[in-house]
Amino acid sequence: DTGVSQNPRHKITKRGQNVTFRCDPISEHNRLYWYRQTLGQGPEFLTYFQNEAQLEKSRLLSDRFSAERPKGSFSTLEIQRTEQGDSAMYLCASSTPSGGFAGELFFGEGSRLTVL
């Protein structure tokens, strides 16, 4: 296992189209996070899963955004009716329960979305 994997790495789409990103966490990690990072800013929390349960959602996650983690393995983040303001890097991270809240988040390389 080489770490957190995200696909696609880069997606260019036209405004109004739907896009879906996939995240494969490290296999033994039961916690999975999605963040959004815009140019010149730090990552902003979007949502968090523990196993298959989505336990927290940020107010940044409008109703055009939906995230799933069926069977507690990989996760998808779908954005419907994309807007130019959705252009950003979408980061996925995972962690294990060990270490509790001091535990490290392991990040993927991100999926960059460009909305034309």
CA-only gyration radius of the chain, Å: 14
Stretch that binds other proteins, among 16-24, 39-47, 69-77, 80-88 (CB under 8 A): 39-47
Shortest separation between residue 81's beta carbon and other proteins, angstroms: 28
For other proteins, the closer of residues 40 and 85 by Cβ is: 40
Binding of residue 110 to other proteins (CB under 8 A):
yes
Regarding 70 and contact with other proteins (CB under 8 A), the answer is no
Indicate whether 52 belongs to the interface with other proteins (CB under 8 A).
Answer: no
Q: Among residues 20 and 54, whose Cβ is nearest to other proteins?
A: 54
- Closest distance of CB 3 from other proteins, Å: 7
Is the preceding omega at residue 70 within 30 degrees of 0, hence cis?
Answer: no
Q: Is 48 a binder of other proteins (CB under 8 A)?
A: yes
**C-beta pairs of 87-90 under 8 Å, 24+ apart in sequence:** 87/38, 87/113, 87/114, 87/115, 88/36, 88/37, 88/38, 88/112, 88/113, 89/36, 89/37, 89/38, 89/113, 90/6, 90/21, 90/34, 90/35, 90/36, 90/37, 90/46
Quick check: 25 binds other proteins (CB under 8 A)?
Answer: no
Could you say which of 20, 30, 45, 87 contacts other proteins (CB under 8 A)? Answer: 45
